[in-house]
Amino acid sequence: MDFKSIREDPKLRQELKRKEEEALKRGDLVTLYDLLDTYLALDIEDESVDRLYEKILELAFDRLSEKLTEGEIFDLSRPEELATARAIYEHALERWDRGEFVGAKELFLVLSYMIDDPSIRKSLLLSLALTAQRESLDHFLQEFVDRSRLDEESLFFNALLPSADNYLAEKSDLIERELERVRKWQV
């Protein structure tokens, strides 16, 4: 069976649709991401991908709001919370790539407070500084990310080159000013 046959197999499409409906009903971000990854791998029509991604973002932002209201951080060992953080992070990257520096910066700022993994937090603070300076996503990827240490399982660009430490040190005052804004929210 060739790739096109697999993609167009009615039983497979029916099963994917069933899983999608179930996951949507349960609000299961992990399954929704698995389905999204499957749709992308099979090159299934953009409408399904777009619809699924919109639902992922909707659920993720709802959960982010709940976490913020409760004053909680993400527990990345829990798959649903990891999927939520992933969705917010991917959305921040999309905004950054579109040149929406302020929106991306705000998301990196919030995530930097909600994720306590040191390597991810460092990457978020670097992204925060770069978006505050209106540097491009491409610049971040070329100058600071060690792509040789990333694989298809990597959900965050947290494999950083030594140049990241230098940049973070140079921009520490800028980062501190941005972080101070969040501290004011916590009062």
Domain coordinates of the chain in residue numbers?
Answer: 1-72, 73-187
The label of the residue with tokens 């197999």 reads 9
The reported pLDDT for the residue numbered 182 is 72
80 vs 71 pLDDT, higher one: 80
Q: Among the ranges 15-19, 42-46, 162-166, which has the highest mean pLDDT value?
A: 162-166
The reported pLDDT for the residue numbered 5 is 65
pLDDT, mean over the chain: 91
pTM: 0.90
The reported pLDDT for the residue numbered 4 is 61
Mean pLDDT over 8-14 rounds to 82
Whether the predicted pLDDT of 52 surpasses 60? yes
Contacts of 75 (CB under 8 A, 6+ apart): 81
Whether the predicted pLDDT of 3 surpasses 70? no
Tell me the C-alpha distance between 125 and 7, whole Å: 40
C-beta separation of 143 from 163 below 8 A: yes
Give the helix, strand, coil percentages of the chain, each rounded to 5: 75, 0, 20
The reported pLDDT for the residue numbered 49 is 87
The reported pLDDT for the residue numbered 12 is 84
Radius of gyration in angstroms for the set of CA atoms belonging to the chain, rounded to a whole number: 18
Mean pLDDT over 105-110 rounds to 96
Whether the predicted pLDDT of 187 surpasses 50? no
